[in-house]
Each structure stands twice: as structure tokens, then as C-alpha cells.
Structure 1
Amino acid sequence: MPPLPVQVMATLAALQLIEKLRMRHGPLLFHQSGGCCDGSSPMCFAQGDFIVGDRDVLLGEIGQAPFYINPSQFEYWKHTQLIIDVVPGRGGMFSLENGENVRFLLRSRLFSDEEFAALQAAGKA
């Protein structure tokens, strides 16, 4: 059986920013809520500064930081691979990259039919 596709990954620029933030703040976590304003971007928090909901879905890890997504957003995005990138701009008000003159950005790639079927068979979609 082929390995399951990765549900969340990060670009090199995102991994470098994650490492910088980890050196400053310690262990991190990400959350994608899908709310308005700041909630529509991936948010980075120091572990312990954000309470993960009982229904939030753990998609995987990026840069040694767990990446969670709100269950309603998971339903919307479960057919895609999430790719966390960094672009110039201002980070979310509560996200740790705020003040770095860059922000995390979510990109996506549709899973192939085979990839999605493998995720479904494994109970991950």
C-alpha cells in the first residue's frame, strides 16, 4: 500500500520563519479556524497560549509544530493538501509572526482521486 499523502506541509520560507519563532517563543502550534479577518489565515501560537478544541482536527506537523484545523474548515479543505507559505504583509493580530513584516498564507493543491481515496480508507478524510 502506498504511503498516505501529507495533508499539510510548509515551504522553506515558512519553515525558516517557524524556526525563528520557535527560538524566540519555544514550542509552537498552528490553528486554521476559517473565521473572518485574522481567522482566515493560519495562526501560529506558543503551545499553551491557545486551547485546541475537542473537535479540532490534527492534520500533521510543520516544522515540528502541530497543525490543527477547525472541523467545519476540515470538511471544506479535506480534499486538498494545505501548503503553508510566507508572504510580505502583516501577520494576524494574535499570531506570533505579527511584527515580522511577513505573514503565513495558506495555499492548496487538490488531492488526486487516488490520494483522496487512500485518505478516506485510512479514516483521515
Structure 2
Amino acid sequence: MHQVEWISAQLNRIQLGALVVAAVGIVLGIVGAVLNIEHFFRGYLIGFLYWMGVTLGCLGLFMVMNLINGAFSFAIQRLFAAGARTVIVMLVLFVPLVFGLGLLYPWTNAEVLSSLPASKASFFTVELFLLRSALYFVV
């Protein structure tokens, strides 16, 4: 067996294992959502913010490496570029958070929003939150 074939076989085995782990995670996430939806969305938000931080960190480092254009960064530029390309995946993973806004943020409740000062109440609206989120993903 050639080295390329061996590496391809190893990668296929790793990908299959990762798919099994992902499937188990999705099933456990659904079970968690059924048992306690509020805790599910809180945990989902923490996980989303963690991986969004990794994605944006890769994007920032990739931009800095391109700006510097140094030979020392050649080896890791592809890693940062691959990490930055997951912004689209993070956009898809943001969609469940939209459905849990009422459970995550108290200002989505009209009573809480009316008790805020006018300067804050205009900022804390669901529509403006979604508009800002869309702008963040576009930029």
C-alpha cells in the first residue's frame, strides 16, 4: 500500500468516527432540548460563542498574516484560512439561537423592555438585534 492510499484510508476512518460522534451529539442535544429547553439554549449559546471566537480568531490572524506577508507565516496560513471559512457554518448554527431569543435574553419580553430607559429600549429590540447580527456576519 502506498503512503497516499494509507493516509486516505486513515482519513476516511477518522471522518467516519467524527460523523458518529456528531450524530451522537445531535441526538443528545435533541434529548436535552426536550428535557429542558432553557438549559439547552443556554448551553448552545455558550458553545456557539466559543466556536465563533475560534472562527473570528482564525479570520483575524489570517488577515494579519496576509498584511505582514512574511515567509514565516506560510506554514500556518492555510490553517487560519480554513478556520476563517467556517463563518458560513457559524451563520447556519446561529439560526437556532434566533428561536431561543425569548429564553436567552430578558429584554425580548415587552414588560422588561418597557421598564428600561428610552435610550436602552430603542437599542434592545429583537428587530435591531437581528439586523446587527446580519451586519456582523456580512462584514
Query: TM-score surpassing 0.5?
Result: no
Greater helix fraction, Structure 1 or Structure 2: 2
TM-score normalised by the shorter chain: which range applies? Answer: under 0.3
TM-score, length basis structure 2? 0.24
TM-score, length basis structure 1? 0.26
Structure with higher RCO (Cα < 8 A, 6+ apart): 1
